[in-house]
Amino acid sequence: MTAQNVSILLAPKDRFPPFRVDVTVLFARELATRGYTIDWVLQSEKDVPAAYQTEYGGGTAWVAPTDNGHSLLRRLRKHLLGLRHDFKLLPLARARKYDVIQVKDKILAALIGLRAARKTGAAFVYWLSFPFPESSLYLARIGSARYPLLYRVRGWLLFHVLYRMALPRADHIFVQSEQMKRDLAGYGIDPAKMTAVPMGVEMADFADAPEPTRAPGSPVIAYLGTLAGERRIDFVVRAFAHVCREIPDAKLLLVGDGDRPGDVADIRKEAQRLNVLDRVEITGFLPRPVALQRITAAAVCLSPFFPTPILNSTSPTKLIEYMALGLPVVANDHPEQQLVLSESRAGLCVPYDEKAFATAIINIVRAPEEALAMGRRGREYAAKYRDYKHIATRVDDVYQRLVDVRRTRS
């Protein structure tokens, strides 16, 4: 059997058209070019009056309407429109006889996909990239949820559906990290049917990146990513203020934007309180190629992850993007970041502490030759282990084994 005759019906949480690289690059590009036929069931990003279908990423995409209103009722309507569309998995599975039916991050849809797979003899695969049930329960517990009771009920329901009903019956589960694999094993999920697939990059996107050199002038400390309040980028500002006491001409570059109008305002307010606002640049949202270009002259790049159980199992993309650009990194001891930096020696991993971050930044700025060596090691590691061409091979191997078993039994 070859990959040319493997077909997948994929229902991701991502909106259409998807933008996350673990969907667009891994599935729509890498697996599609290996001969996979991939059909898609997803919901539109923009308001559309009715469902429609179009060609996308190796097959056909069936796209549901949505409602982008912000009220509770309109948000509920959006979810109901998406859930109704997920039931399309059943007739599509019967009509097209897929080898694999895969649901990604849509928990209620997992039961629909599981039913469709069992009715048609397909392998059922679930892809979990974030602990959504635990996140709902955690936000309700700490008082950050907009509707605490709703979040608590939703978290309990999704936890039960995902970890007690869907995943124990799945033929295979892709998880985001080795930490997530351990977490799920703690819930009683068989580790033998889980594969950790961390976030990666398409190294071709970085082929034209210049060889890292120390840019003349003031050293730039850069952060690339969302500035949403829950990411606590005020931590970065406070660490930078400590750096300025030792390196007065340092600059802080924040490439990204917040989710709410107040997010960026809060960051500016903290910078003003610490008398470093004149040395902080916030770009706002930039297209990805432009955003990556802006940080190429940085002396150090930052990847802070607030230490909560919810984020411990994630796989940060920005860390690998920094490394693919050949830039040295300061990150905190989040499980995935600690693993990557210990294996690659592409930067310094420190506790989530402002002074620890500042000391690490200062040490890298003051050792430019070692900083360049860190950058080179990071680029080599990203190319060898985190290019989606290599990740696709790992995922492909799993599908091949699943389809082999299915066809042997039929």
Say if residue 235's pLDDT is above 80: yes
Q: Domains of the chain (ranges plus CATH)?
A: 3-200+387-409 (3.40.50.2000), 203-385 (3.40.50.2000)
Q: Are the C-beta atoms of residues 127 and 104 closer than 8 Å to each other?
A: yes
161 to 39, 129, 179, 409: CA distances (angstroms): 25, 16, 21, 28
Q: Are strands 59-64 and 123-128 parallel, antiparallel or unpaired?
A: unpaired
pLDDT of residue 210: 67
pLDDT of residue 212: 64
User: pLDDT tens-digit profile of 250-267?
Assistant: 999 999 998 777 899 999
Picking from 91, 87, 104, the residue whose alpha carbon sits closest to that of residue 15 is 104
Phi, psi of 172 (to 5 degrees): -160, 155
114-119: which pairs have CB atoms within 8 A and are 24 or more residues apart?
114/166, 114/169, 114/170, 115/90, 116/9, 116/89, 116/90, 116/92, 117/93, 117/171, 119/90, 119/93, 119/94
Per DSSP, the three-state class of 356 is helix
Say if residue 209's pLDDT is above 90: no
Q: Record the tokens describing residue 23, joined without a space.
A: 């969907």
- The label of the residue with tokens 């509707």 reads 147
Say if residue 202's pLDDT is above 80: yes
Q: Record the tokens describing residue 240, joined without a space.
A: 């930078």
User: pLDDT tens-digit profile of 153-194?
Assistant: 999 999 999 999 999 999 999 999 999 999 999 999 999 999
CA angle 208, 211, 215 (to 5 degrees): 115
pLDDT of residue 392: 96
Which stretches of 225-287 are DSSP H helices? 234-246, 261-273
Picking from 99, 174, 98, the residue whose alpha carbon sits closest to that of residue 406 is 99
CA angle 347, 350, 355 (to 5 degrees): 115
Percent of the chain with pLDDT over 70: 97
CA angle 264, 270, 274 (to 5 degrees): 145
pLDDT of residue 292: 86
pLDDT of residue 213: 61
User: pLDDT tens-digit profile of 28-61?
Assistant: 999 999 999 999 999 999 999 899 999 999 899 9
Say if residue 231's pLDDT is above 80: yes
pLDDT of residue 307: 85
Per DSSP, the three-state class of 307 is coil
Say if residue 309's pLDDT is above 50: yes
Say if residue 356's pLDDT is above 90: yes
CA 238 to chain centre: 26
Cα–Cα distance, 131 to 186 (Å, whole number): 13
Q: Are strands 37-44 and 15-16 parallel, antiparallel or unpaired?
A: parallel
Say if residue 338's pLDDT is above 90: yes
If you write DSSP's letter for every residue of 148-169 in order, what string do you get?
Answer: HHHHHHHHHHHHIIIIIIIGGG
pLDDT of residue 410: 65
142 to 147, 150, 183, 262, 355: CA distances (angstroms): 12, 14, 21, 20, 26
**What count of other Cβ atoms lies within 10 Å of the Cβ of residue 279?**
19
